[in-house]
Structure 1
Amino acid sequence: LFQPGLQSQVPALTVAMATRVSKLRSRLHRLFSKVGVPDPGASAKYLLAHCIGQRTLTREHSRLELTAQQLSKLTGLCNRRLQREPLQYILGEWYFRDVSLVMRAPVFIPRPETEKLVDLAKQCWSAVGASSSHPHSLSRPRLFSEVCTGSGAVSVCLLRDLPQAHCLAIELLPEACHLTWENCHRNGVSNRLHLINASLATPGLLGRAPPLSLIVANPPYVPELDMRQLQPEETFESPVALRGGGIGGLGVIVQLMDFADARLATGGRLHRLFSKVGVPDPGASAKYLLAHCIGQRTLTREHSRLELTAQQLSKLTGLCNRRLQREPLQYILGEWDFRDVSLVMRAPVFIPRPETEKLVDLAKQCWWLAFEMDSSHGQLLRDRFQNRGSLRLDRIESDFADLRRYANVMQHQPFKPSTPVRTGAKQRVLKRTNTYSPSEFVARIRAAENAAT
């Protein structure tokens, strides 16, 4: 179908007779592989789908025959891909998560791993929501900022998934600003977007804007020396979106850290501080320390309007320093709620873990089975577990289910068997016409088990 040109030149495409999608796809795959195009199968699939007006190819499309006009269009698209132009620029749009984005050179193309940034941002948004002590969190919509916005992929996804949020997008490249606005308008979230064409180094950036609940960014970080070793596809993107500047490419990242310290609300600053040093569950640490300083058990939206006094801020500083040294939150607060019980906590006493709550539930079941029943039931329980050595949590629940099936001990009512009772590998059907007391029924079960043994 296609004949590559001289090896020293970019291969040219000439249309021959074959026009079926399935054959075109396989031959394009071989052509792209031969000249070193990354992921040649995806390039062949999406270019063919674009020519027939589809988002992707399915088995139903494989039998289609391309028209002369479609073949001419495909030739031009393939020549661009053979020159290593990114597939996203050729198609003019790309899907990020389940959001359709317009894509144009030289705006930075969102990578697949950037989707994790959206998930992380949503988790942080929820975690710092109750930790913010600034009054804007109630009196006006909560505000987050995306720095180095690019195509606006992250902003669009967050604004779509967080309907109460507003975004303050900061982008240096004018082409990226236009594309961000277009993508937000395309997905119906432009009414909550505030776009600024500036760099983080701009004096007085944001002026008297309210504090931010969250800052999300995928900043440029490529060192100057590595800019000479970019992949051919990356050379189509603006150097502004790639070059980090400064020592080791960290110039923009350093500016971002200073910007975060100045603009994040109190809860957001604490969350970022704890995250930076690796404190587990930084959102919970920020929330409970702030609540402790204002004399509350936890934070609610009503507490977000409060302003901390100088004494409370001094106390918060001391508590945060202890947490930064990785002292457990329970020891710092001096108390902790276990289930619905308030416990005093002091070092070095062992701190009850959340999974210990399951032990309480199992112990309560043991109490019912071993003591609230008559002696025969208690003996049955002991007989069933005497050879175990200990009660294993992963097996005890199934054993309790067996006991409840043998005798209706939880309600302590007479039991009338209606189904066969399983005894190891055998089954014995007890008399269905009689009603037994729990003691009598357990005795019969034990006799059946002994017989099976």
Structure 2
Amino acid sequence: MFLQKLSRQLLTANTVLNVNTLRCLNYGLNTALGKTETEIIEKWKQKFAKENIDEIESSIKHILHHVIDKRETLTDKKDDQQIILTKEQINRFEQLCECRMARMPVQYIIGEWDFCDLVLKMVPPVFIPRPETEELVELILQQCDDKLTMRFLEVGCGSGAISLSLLHSLPKAQSIAIDQSEYACKLTLENAKNLQLNNRIKVIKHKLTNESELPMIEGKLDLIVSNPPYVLTHDLKKLEPEISLYEDLRALDGGPDGLNIIRSILTFASKRLKLQGHLWLEVDPSHPSLIEEYLQENKSDLNLKFVACYKDMYGKERFVEIMKI
């Protein structure tokens, strides 16, 4: 049932299915009882290594824990505490490992992922939130008073990771989340309901452009945040198969210089942010200086001030803070 449902989801989302993917979706296996976690892990380590699968141990652990319904890491258990897998668990585990062999991201395979303090449902082809984006949320929260009411907009909500994390930590906040993908909007709403945050978020299917006014959003905003498409178009061909085969490339393609959507966000922010309201962006490391230059050149039209750039966990300039003046 899982693989049939996954197959329908991928086909509905117009995901490219190659031979490996079809092998994943139609895979079946009969295995003897009595195999321990150690034996299973070693077998798939070798198979993943032959296929040059990234993050081998992490992928195996996440899939195994999903199958046995345990969220603690394997390293938390002593050697003599290994679990004997049932035949059904072994078959399930090996089916899902075949999906990973087909380069399907582990987040889609297990159907969920941790982000900040939340567990979010993941469904292809909706963009998978990255660890760096958790840093963006933390930067924003450092400057927000959780005792004050506020209203913010997220541009390109995907799974709802940013909006829902902010709402979770800011009990008096209200969010509007927009995305051009219907799949993303539905997933954001589902995650919001699962987390009982749906009464504080409004999700709108909309593609932001320079002409966007969003008349359905009344008044000024305290904050705008976005992890927008910022990959340069000519760099899309360099993406790993996990991304190019399964994720919605519209959530990544930022145009020739990677700034197409970002310029639209800046125009919108200049009109809809409150005075001294803030815009936060996650961008390519080459973008902060270009954005600062763009704001200087268009200062009289945009009335936006480049406040600061912050580095991510890898030391790359990744996050930009801008203020309405």
Greater fraction strand: 2
Looking at both structures, which has the greater relative contact order when contacts are Cα pairs under 8 Å and sequence separation is at least 6?
A: 2
In the alignment, structure 1 residue 242 sits paired with structure 2 residue 242: no
Match of 1:213 among 216, 219, 222: 222
Match for residue 312 of structure 2? none
CA 1:65–1:148 in 2, change beyond 3 Å: closer, same or farther?
Answer: same
> Normalising by structure 2, what TM-score?
0.73
Kept in 1: contact 2:28–2:91 (CA 8 A): no
Task: Give secondary structure in 2 for the equivalent of 1:41.
Answer: helix
Match for residue 193 of structure 2? 185
Match for residue 77 of structure 2? 59
Q: Gapped runs of 5+ residues in structure 1?
A: 1-7, 130-136, 287-319, 321-453
- 1:198-209 map, 5 Å: 198-201=206-209, 203-207=212-216, 209=218
Query: Aligned equivalents of 2:50 and 2:86: distance in 1?
Result: 26
Query: Aligned equivalents of 1:225 and 1:126: distance in 2?
Result: 41
Greater fraction helix: 1
Match for residue 339 of structure 1? none
Match of 2:123 among 101, 104, 121: 104
In the alignment, structure 1 residue 252 sits paired with structure 2 residue 261: yes
Task: Give secondary structure in 2 for the equivalent of 1:267.
Answer: strand
Q: How many residues align?
A: 264
Q: Quote the RMSD (CA, aligned, Å).
A: 3.0
Query: Aligned equivalents of 1:16 and 1:190: distance in 2?
Result: 43
Q: Deviation of residue 249 (structure 1)?
A: 1.9
In the alignment, structure 1 residue 174 sits paired with structure 2 residue 182: yes
Deviation string, structure 1 residues 180-212 (Cα, Å, up to 9, x no partner): 011111111110001111011264313561111
Deviation string, structure 1 residues 214-256 (Cα, Å, up to 9, x no partner): 11110011122111111011021001111112x3121001101
Q: Larger C-alpha radius of gyration, 1 or 2?
A: 1
Match for residue 91 of structure 1? 110
- 1:362-441 map, 5 Å: none
- Residue 95 of structure 2 aligns with an amino acid whose one-letter code is G
Match for residue 427 of structure 1? none
Deviation string, structure 1 residues 48-75 (Cα, Å, up to 9, x no partner): 1111111243315952111111111112
Task: Give secondary structure in 1 for the equivalent of 2:203.
Answer: strand
Task: Give secondary structure in 2 for the equivalent of 1:266.
Answer: strand
Kept in 2: contact 1:84–1:233 (CA 8 A): yes
> Does 168-177 or 204-213 show the bigger shift?
204-213
CA 1:152–1:223 in 2, change beyond 3 Å: closer, same or farther?
Answer: same
Deviation string, structure 1 residues 375-398 (Cα, Å, up to 9, x no partner): xxxxxxxxxxxxxxxxxxxxxxxx
Match of 1:222 among 225, 231, 242: 231
Query: Aligned equivalents of 2:234 and 2:270: distance in 1?
Result: 30
Q: Deviation of residue 34 (structure 1)?
A: 2.2
Match of 2:171 among 163, 167, 173: 163
